[in-house]
Structures are given as C-alpha cells and as structure tokens.
C-alpha cells in the first residue's frame, strides 16, 4: 500500500485522516527577529562544542574507534545520487512529469545512523549531557581542572560508581546514556517504553545497564524514571522533555556539518539554500540541530521536521499553539508507529518554545513508506539505516513536490534550482543483521 497525501486539506483534517502532508509554519519569522527571544544563544552552543573538545582524549581512550577523529564523535556526510534518481523516478509517475523538468539538486545523507558509541543521533545530545554532569562531579570532588587531560577520568570509575544515571527512552536515548554511563563507571538505569525494540534492551543489559520495562508509552517511562531518580540524591536524571544540555549537545552538529559542506564545495547563501529534513520524536534532536544550523546560516537554511502520521506531537503542539499541553491522543491518534524512535505523543515544551518562530515546517509520513525508503537506500547506495531515520525521505518528497507545483504555476526561472538537500539519518548502525534482513526480505552482504 502506498501512502496517500493530504492535498488541499487543513492540518486537523490531515491528522485525523492520517494523510502525509506538509505543514508550513505560519509563525515562522526571519531568524534575526526570532533569535533575541530565544532562551538559549549561540555562545551556549560554542561552550558545548568546547566541552566536547576537552573530553576528546577521554572518549578516544574509552572508545578507540573514535581515534581517527581525535575523539570527536562525528558522522560522514554522503552524497546519495543513486537513491535520489530512484526517488525521482517513483515520484515522476505520481506527478505525470518529464524527468528533465524535475529539480535536479544535490542530495546528501547525514549519517548520524553511524555515529560511534551509540549508533544514533543520541550520541550527540545524550553523551554530551552525561559528560557535562561528569565534569561537574569531578570538579566538585577536586580531581579535575579544565586544563587537565580529561583522559584521567578513566581512572576514577570507582568514584563514579557511587552515582546513578537514569533516563526514560524509546530505545536510542537509553543506548547512548546507558553505554556512556557504564563506560565511565556509573550505575545506569534505563526506563524503556513499550515501543522499545527487544534488541536494544538486550544490548544494554549485555553492558551491565539495568533496563526497566513499561507497558505504556514514552511519557510514562519518563515520568516513572524521573520520580525514582528524584528520590535518590546520588541519582541524576537525563530529562529528554526539558533538558537544555541535550538540546545544546545536538546543536554542535551544525559547526561540524559546516566544515563537511565546505569540503564538498557546497555553497549556502540566499541563492543556494540548504534544505534539511530531520525525524522528530520529543523534539530535542531536530530542535537542537535546527538551532545550530540557523545560528550559522539564518534564513538560508530551511529546516523541516518529519513525524509519523500516528505520532505528530510537535505538529499538533505548534499548529494548535498549545505546545506540550496537547498530545496526539487528543486528535484521536494512537501514538503507535513502526518508527520506534519517533513514538512520542507529547512534545517537549523547551523545544516547542525554541522552534515556535524558527522551524520552517513539519511533514508527516505514513509507516508504510518507511521500509520502502529503507530498501531504496540500501539497493541504490548500500547504506542501512533504521525505519525511524527513513522519515527524513518524506520531508524531501514534500519539498520536491512543492517545487514542482511552483514550477508548473510560475515562470520557471523564479523557482530556485540551486539548493542542496540533506536527509538526516538519525539511527541504524547498531541494528542486528536479522532485524535488517527481516525488513529487507533479503540477505545482507
């Protein structure tokens, strides 16, 4: 079955009827006007980037696979021309258009699916928050100064073992917090929602992390985790719904991407816009990345979040203006989706506040499309990512289709054709082979 699109309907109709569609943020204003009203600023992101640099020697020591990058956890940016052509061929049929009329811009995949340590975008925000807390504890205890080589922290596992790190998660955040916390010596407890995949729980348990399972959704797992952690003075709770640290850890991605685009000789300016599509759960990852990108490129970068048709929490929060005071169940949706990383019914207030005037739009995707995109990427460019990550493809589709419509209505020269598009692949490299093969229906090389 193919996903049907909700053209010419309002957002509430599209949501109720589970249509894939593009919601343009009508509150979007020039970034220079939005920026002064935001709770965080560009210096906060710079500070996070510097903190990650201080930790690089320790990361290199604990995770030797990061040596080639000097202890920075960063992912490749890969052009996926073959996949782009396959996508365009599919959509041409939908639009009844000739191939040469299609906007032919570069398409890249930002492979956070392959980030070291956690295998997902959560290696940015989650790990950053654990490190920041670790720095605070170590400085308070008196065995760390900013000018030290942070590799010394690997010798204090006993000290950290008296402390607990806890988090509520649909899976990937738990993996990033759990793996990093366990490596530093902490006791780690991950509160997993019902959507979390079995293999993620198994992997964590194999690293000595305590996994608590809940029958209900993500919000409940977070609530329970927060409550249990608050009762223990030696426990720290990573709060995905409110954490500025997580948000800033994600935002550091932007300066790294800027270097990669420069290496690719990609220009970003008013005549050459950059389009970025990021899968959205509670909002921290796409919100933080968008904040970082807008600080660099302002209105020349267009940022779109993508959410499942059954769990568009940021869309209902922003479109209704009620932010975290509404959830997807209020609109008759289940909140359930094959995109386990995006199975969130209520958006983060912090992120909704930060993105209210900043995000360009939100796109929804039907579950049926996710595995199809997964297969297309594998067949054409031999890259494997998890279903949640594939939501980004639907973002690209909606913007390409919008361009085609504009082009057919307008004088062609007025439609920009010099842009660059980036699909943010948010997770996947830790997926077990059997899981991948079950989705693809074939044996993986």
Ligand X SMILES: *Cc1c(COP(=O)(O)O)cnc(C)c1O
Which positions lie near ligand X, rule CB under 6 A? 120-122, 172, 279-286, 341-342, 386, 388-389, 426-427
Minimum gap (Å) between residue 327 Cβ and ligand X: 15
Minimum gap (Å) between residue 4 Cβ and ligand X: 24
User: Can you list the alpha helix ranges (DSSP code H) found in 154-283?
Assistant: 157-160, 172-184, 198-206, 218-230, 244-251, 253-263
DSSP 81-117: HHHHHHHHHHHHHHHT--GGGS---EEEEEEGGG-TT
Nearer to ligand X, 283 or 361 (CB): 283
Nearer to ligand X, 49 or 391 (CB): 391
Minimum gap (Å) between residue 123 Cβ and ligand X: 10
Minimum gap (Å) between residue 405 Cβ and ligand X: 28
The residue of the chain with the least Cβ separation from ligand X equals 281
Minimum gap (Å) between residue 427 Cβ and ligand X: 3
Nearer to ligand X, 80 or 251 (CB): 251
d(CA 20, CA 194) in angstroms, rounded, equals 25
Q: Please answer whether residues 440 and 434 qualify as being in contact, where contact means their C-beta atoms are separated by less than 8 angstroms.
A: no
Residue at token pair 């059954």:
310
Supply 279's token pair. Answer: 């899968």
Nearer to ligand X, 176 or 300 (CB): 176
d(CA 170, CA 190) in angstroms, rounded, equals 10
d(CA 389, CA 119) in angstroms, rounded, equals 12
Measured in degrees and rounded to the nearest 5, phi and psi for residue 158 equal -60, -40
Nearer to ligand X, 122 or 132 (CB): 122
Minimum gap (Å) between residue 175 Cβ and ligand X: 9
d(CA 270, CA 256) in angstroms, rounded, equals 21
Q: Which helix (H) or strand (E) holds 352?
A: helix 349-355
Nearer to ligand X, 137 or 326 (CB): 326
């Amino acid at each position: 079955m193919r996903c049907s699109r909700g053209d010419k309907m309002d957002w509430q109709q599209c949501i109720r009827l589970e249509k894939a569609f593009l919601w343009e943020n009508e509150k979007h204003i020039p970034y220079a006007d939005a920026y002064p009203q935001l709770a965080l600023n560009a210096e906060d992101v710079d500070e996070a980037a510097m903190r990650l640099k201080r930790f690089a020697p320790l990361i290199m020591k604990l995770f030797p696979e990061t040596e080639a990058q000097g202890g920075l956890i960063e992912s490749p940016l890969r052009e996926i021309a073959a996949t782009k052509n396959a996508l365009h061929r599919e959509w041409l049929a939908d639009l009844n258009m000739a191939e040469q009329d299609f906007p032919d811009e570069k398409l890249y995949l930002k492979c956070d699916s392959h980030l070291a340590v956690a295998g997902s975008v959560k290696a940015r925000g989650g790990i950053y928050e654990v490190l920041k807390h670790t720095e605070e504890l170590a400085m308070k205890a008196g065995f760390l100064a900013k000018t030290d080589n942070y590799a010394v922290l690997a010798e204090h596992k006993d000290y950290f073992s008296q402390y607990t790190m806890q988090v509520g998660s649909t899976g990937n955040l738990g993996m990033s917090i759990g793996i990093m916390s366990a490596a530093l010596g902490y006791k780690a407890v991950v509160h997993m929602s019902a959507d979390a995949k079995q293999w993620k729980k198994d992997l964590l348990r194999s690293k000595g992390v305590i996994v608590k399972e809940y029958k209900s959704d993500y919000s409940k797992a977070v609530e329970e985790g927060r409550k249990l952690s608050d009762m223990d003075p030696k426990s720290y709770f990573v709060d995905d719904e409110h954490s500025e640290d997580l948000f800033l850890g994600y935002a550091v991605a932007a300066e790294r991407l800027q270097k990669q685009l420069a290496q690719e000789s990609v220009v970003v300016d008013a005549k050459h816009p950059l389009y970025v599509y990021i899968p959205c759960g509670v909002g921290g990852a796409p919100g933080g990345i968008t904040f970082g990108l807008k600080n660099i490129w302002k209105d020349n970068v267009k940022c779109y979040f993508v959410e499942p048709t059954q769990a568009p929490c940021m869309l209902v929060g922003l479109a209704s203006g009620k932010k975290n005071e509404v959830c997807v169940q209020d609109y008759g949706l289940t909140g359930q989706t094959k995109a386990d990383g995006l199975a969130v019914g209520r958006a983060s207030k912090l992120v909704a506040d930060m993105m209210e005037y900043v995000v360009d739009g939100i796109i929804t995707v039907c579950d049926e499309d996710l595995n199809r995109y997964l297969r297309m990427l594998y067949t054409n460019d031999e890259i494997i990512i998890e279903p949640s990550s594939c939501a980004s493809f639907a973002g690209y589709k909606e913007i390409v289709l919008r361009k085609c419509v504009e082009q057919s209505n307008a004088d062609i020269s007025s439609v920009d054709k010099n842009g660059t598009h980036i699909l943010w692949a948010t997770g996947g490299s830790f997926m077990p082979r059997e899981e991948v093969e079950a989705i693809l229906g074939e044996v993986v090389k």
